[in-house]
Amino acid sequence: KAEAVYIAIGIKPNGHKEVIDYCIAPSENIEVWTEMLQNMKSRGLKQVELFLSDGVVGMKTALARTYPKAHFQRCLVHVMRNICAKVRVDDREKIMNEFKQVHQQTNKEEATAVLHDFYTKWGKVYSHVIKGLKEIEPDLLVFYNYPKQIRASIYSTNMIESFNNVIKRKAKPKAEFPTEQSLDAFIGIQAMSYNDRYFNRIHKGFGQVQDTLESYFD
């Protein structure tokens, strides 16, 4: 049977990143994420400044319960994929190129203007898509509140996607795991080797803004 693997990767203010937690469950649902968040908290993760995730329903609420001070950013790559799935094939490339402009501005005001132009341009043809975007607008541009050096790292879940790709690549030869324990052990080993590999490396852009980032924490 197929299992969903939940993965949480964290970046510290000093730019060091690590897999904080992972979990295997039958499918993606908010109960599992809630449990993982509580687990992280009980293990000593006291404060989260920014939480970045795809569009799993209820994530913001779960986060507010566990880390009420944390800010929430919706992964813009996932948002873009969702838009593309709902529009005509002929419009996809154009829409993608226009939506990409949202994360390429110099500040939040400019990005908001670009987003609102996007609404105006496509609102008549794809009213349901634009309505959906407007509902999540508060979660789309949060990354602009942070120093520009790190913005490229915090508007999408690319970091987790690349870890997922490592797992998929290394799991390929095995194709199926006989038991959940064997899958668990396999992911555990990948997580530990990821953490070893990045133990002393500073994630791109974080080196220049360490003082600023540390000032966000109590």
- Assess whether 8 and 71 both reside in one domain: yes
pTM reported for the whole predicted model: 0.92
- Assess whether 161 and 58 both reside in one domain: yes
Per the structure block, which two tokens stand in for 112?
């908001």
- Give the domain extent around 111: 77-139
- Assess whether 39 and 49 both reside in one domain: yes
- Assess whether 65 and 102 both reside in one domain: no
Residue 34 domain-assigned? yes
- pLDDT at 208 (0 to 100): 95
Residue 117 domain-assigned? yes
pLDDT digits (tens, 9 = 90+) for 113-172: 999 999 999 999 999 999 999 999 999 999 999 999 999 999 999 999 999 998 888 887
Question: Which residues does residue 19 pair with via DSSP β-bridges, in sequence order?
Answer: 9
- Assess whether 40 and 90 both reside in one domain: no
Residue 187 domain-assigned? yes
- Assess whether 83 and 65 both reside in one domain: no
- Assess whether 117 and 165 both reside in one domain: no
- Assess whether 163 and 204 both reside in one domain: yes
Residue 113 domain-assigned? yes
Residue 123 domain-assigned? yes
pLDDT digits (tens, 9 = 90+) for 182-215: 989 999 999 999 999 999 999 999 999 999 999 9
Domain count, the chain: 2
- Assess whether 210 and 103 both reside in one domain: no
- Assess whether 86 and 183 both reside in one domain: no
DSSP string, 4-48: EEEEEEEE-TTS-EEEEEEEEESS--HHHHHHHHHHHHHTT----
- pLDDT at 175 (0 to 100): 66
Residue 147 domain-assigned? no
Q: Please report, for the domain that includes residue 34, its CATH number.
A: 3.30.420
- pLDDT at 176 (0 to 100): 77
- 64 closest CA partner among 138, 115, 13, 14: 138
DSSP string, 160-198: HHHHHHHHHHHHTTT-S-SSHHHHHHHHHHHHHHHHHHT
Residue 192 domain-assigned? yes
